Chains A and B, each alone.
Chain A
Amino acid sequence: MAKEIMIDPVTRLEGHAKIDVFLDNNGDVEDAYFQIVELRGFEEFCKGRPVEEMPRIVTRLCGVCPWAHHIASSKATDGVYGVKPPSTGLKLRELGYLAHFLESHLEHIYALGPAPDFIVGPDAPPEKRNVFGVIEKVGLDIGKRVIQNRAYAVKIEDMLGGKSTHPVYSIPGGVSHSITEEDRGEILKMGESLVNFCLFTIDVVDKFILKNKKFLDIILSKDIYYHRTNYIGLVDDENKMAIYEGKFRVVNPEGKEILKFKPEDYLKHIAEHVEPWTYLKFPYLKDKGWKGFVDGEESGVMRSAPLGRLNVSEGLKTPRAQEAYERYFEVLGGKPVHNTLAFHWARAIECLYAAERIVELCNDPEITDKKVRNIPDPGEYRGEGISGIEAPRGSLIHHYKADKNGLMTELNLIVATAFNYAGMNMSVKKAAKALIKKGKYDQGILNMIEMAFRAYDPCFSCATHSLPGTMPIMVNIFNEKGKLVDVIKRK
Chain B
Amino acid sequence: MAKKKISIALKRGASCVGCDIAVVNFSEHLFDLLKVADIVFSPTLLDVKYEDLRKMPDKSITIGLYHGAVRNSDNEEFAKIMREKCQVLIAYGACAHMGGIPGLANVSNKEKIFKTVYKDTFSTDNPDDIVPLTEWVDKRGHKLTLPEFYDEVYALDDIVDVDYYVPACPPTHDMNMQILSLINDWVEGKRELPPKGTVIAKEKTLCDECPRNPGKEKNIKIEKIRYITEVEADPDKCFLEQGILCLGPATRAGCGAPCIEANMPCRGCMGPTSIVMDQGCSMLSAIASILGISENEIELSEEDIEKFVSQMKDPLGCFYRFSLPKSLLRKAVKDREV
**Chain A contact residues, CB within 8 Å of chain B:** 2, 4, 10-15, 20, 22, 30-31, 33, 35, 37-41, 43-53, 56-57, 59-64, 66, 81, 126, 147, 151, 154, 158, 160-163, 165-169, 171-173, 176-177, 266-267, 270-279, 281, 283, 290, 373, 375-376, 397, 399, 403, 405-407, 409-414, 462, 465-467, 470-472, 474, 482, 489-490
Are A41 and B116 neighbours in the complex by a CB distance under 8 Å? Answer: yes
Are A49 and B123 neighbours in the complex by a CB distance under 8 Å? Answer: no
B248–chain A nearest beta-carbon distance, Å: 14
Are B314 and A38 neighbours in the complex by a CB distance under 8 Å? Answer: no
A409 vs B335: C-alpha distance in the bound complex, in angstroms? Answer: 12
The prevalent SS among residues of B at the interface is: loop
Any A CB within 8 A of the CB of B113 = yes
Are B318 and A53 neighbours in the complex by a CB distance under 8 Å? Answer: yes
Are A44 and B12 neighbours in the complex by a CB distance under 8 Å? Answer: no
Are B314 and A407 neighbours in the complex by a CB distance under 8 Å? Answer: yes
B233–chain A nearest beta-carbon distance, Å: 7
Whose C-beta in chain B lies nearest to the C-beta of A275? B130
B146 in complex: contacting residue of A63, A278, A489, CB < 8 Å? A278
Are B259 and A168 neighbours in the complex by a CB distance under 8 Å? Answer: yes
A81 vs B229: C-alpha distance in the bound complex, in angstroms? Answer: 8
A375 vs B229: C-alpha distance in the bound complex, in angstroms? Answer: 6
Any A CB within 8 A of the CB of B288 = no
Are B113 and A39 neighbours in the complex by a CB distance under 8 Å? Answer: yes
Are B44 and A271 neighbours in the complex by a CB distance under 8 Å? Answer: no
B229 in complex: contacting residue of A57, A376, A413, A471, CB < 8 Å? A376
A109 vs B305: C-alpha distance in the bound complex, in angstroms? Answer: 57
Whose C-beta in chain A lies nearest to the C-beta of B95? A60
Given contacts A60-B18, A273-B125, A276-B130, A52 and B267 within 8 Å (CB-CB): no
B62–chain A nearest beta-carbon distance, Å: 20
Give residues 1-23 of B contacting A (CB, 8 Å).
12-22
Any A CB within 8 A of the CB of B194 = no
Are B44 and A466 neighbours in the complex by a CB distance under 8 Å? Answer: yes
- Which residues of B are found within 8 Å of A279, using beta-carbon distances? 132, 146, 149
A165 in complex: contacting residue of B21, B112, B230, B313, CB < 8 Å? B21
Are B117 and A41 neighbours in the complex by a CB distance under 8 Å? Answer: yes
Whose C-beta in chain B lies nearest to the C-beta of A469? B47
- Which residues of B are found within 8 Å of A397, using beta-carbon distances? 123
Given contacts A177-B235, A277-B146, A44 and B113 within 8 Å (CB-CB): yes
A4 vs B131: C-alpha distance in the bound complex, in angstroms? Answer: 24
Given contacts A20-B144, A162-B261, A15 and B13 within 8 Å (CB-CB): yes
- Which residues of A are found within 8 Å of B264, using beta-carbon distances? 56, 162, 168-169, 171, 176
B262 in complex: contacting residue of A2, A4, A162, CB < 8 Å? A162
Are A407 and B71 neighbours in the complex by a CB distance under 8 Å? Answer: no
A and B contact pairs by CB, cutoff 8 A, 28 listed = A4-B142, A11-B74, A12-B50, A13-B49, A37-B146, A38-B14, A41-B108, A44-B113, A51-B229, A63-B170, A81-B229, A162-B259, A162-B264, A167-B262, A168-B259, A171-B228, A275-B132, A276-B130, A276-B131, A277-B136, A277-B146, A405-B338, A406-B229, A466-B43, A470-B47, A471-B47, A482-B143, A489-B49
Whose C-beta in chain B lies nearest to the C-beta of A150? B27
Of B97-105, B210-218, B294-302, which binds chain A?
B97-105
A176 in complex: contacting residue of B46, B101, B233, CB < 8 Å? B233
A273 vs B233: C-alpha distance in the bound complex, in angstroms? Answer: 43
- Which residues of A are found within 8 Å of B197, using beta-carbon distances? none
Are B43 and A462 neighbours in the complex by a CB distance under 8 Å? Answer: yes
Give residues 108-133 of B contacting A (CB, 8 Å).
108, 112-113, 116-118, 120-126, 130-133
Given contacts A41-B113, A45-B107, A412 and B133 within 8 Å (CB-CB): no
A48–chain B nearest beta-carbon distance, Å: 6
B105–chain A nearest beta-carbon distance, Å: 4
Whose C-beta in chain A lies nearest to the C-beta of B24? A465
Whose C-beta in chain A lies nearest to the C-beta of B53? A13
Closest 8 CB pairs between A and B? Answer: A63-B18, A162-B262, A12-B50, A41-B113, A13-B43, A63-B16, A168-B264, A44-B116
B132 in complex: contacting residue of A81, A160, A276, A406, CB < 8 Å? A276
A45 in complex: contacting residue of B105, B124, B170, CB < 8 Å? B105
B105 in complex: contacting residue of A41, A267, A407, A470, CB < 8 Å? A41
- Which residues of A are found within 8 Å of B233, using beta-carbon distances? 176
A126 vs B46: C-alpha distance in the bound complex, in angstroms? Answer: 10
A331 vs B50: C-alpha distance in the bound complex, in angstroms? Answer: 43
Are B124 and A281 neighbours in the complex by a CB distance under 8 Å? Answer: yes
Given contacts A40-B14, A470-B47, A31 and B78 within 8 Å (CB-CB): no
Any A CB within 8 A of the CB of B285 = no
- Which residues of B are found within 8 Å of A151, using beta-carbon distances? 27
Whose C-beta in chain A lies nearest to the C-beta of B255? A163
Given contacts A52-B229, A63-B17, A274 and B118 within 8 Å (CB-CB): yes
B132–chain A nearest beta-carbon distance, Å: 5
Given contacts A15-B147, A60-B102, A274-B130, A490 and B124 within 8 Å (CB-CB): no
A273–chain B nearest beta-carbon distance, Å: 6
B169 in complex: contacting residue of A60, A61, A172, A474, CB < 8 Å? A60
**Per-residue interface assignment for chain B, residues 229 to 249, with 1 indicating a CB less than 8 Å from any chain A CB and 0 otherwise:** 111110100000000000000
Any A CB within 8 A of the CB of B198 = no
B214–chain A nearest beta-carbon distance, Å: 20
B314 in complex: contacting residue of A50, A154, A470, CB < 8 Å? A50
- Which residues of A are found within 8 Å of B50, using beta-carbon distances? 12-13
B80–chain A nearest beta-carbon distance, Å: 14
Whose C-beta in chain B lies nearest to the C-beta of A52? B229
B117 in complex: contacting residue of A30, A43, A51, CB < 8 Å? A43
Whose C-beta in chain A lies nearest to the C-beta of B127? A274
Whose C-beta in chain A lies nearest to the C-beta of B317? A49
A171 vs B263: C-alpha distance in the bound complex, in angstroms? Answer: 11
A151 vs B133: C-alpha distance in the bound complex, in angstroms? Answer: 42
**Per-residue interface assignment for chain B, residues 248 to 278, with 1 indicating a CB less than 8 Å from any chain A CB and 0 otherwise:** 0000000000110111100100000000000
A138 vs B267: C-alpha distance in the bound complex, in angstroms? Answer: 44
Are B21 and A64 neighbours in the complex by a CB distance under 8 Å? Answer: yes
Whose C-beta in chain A lies nearest to the C-beta of B227? A52
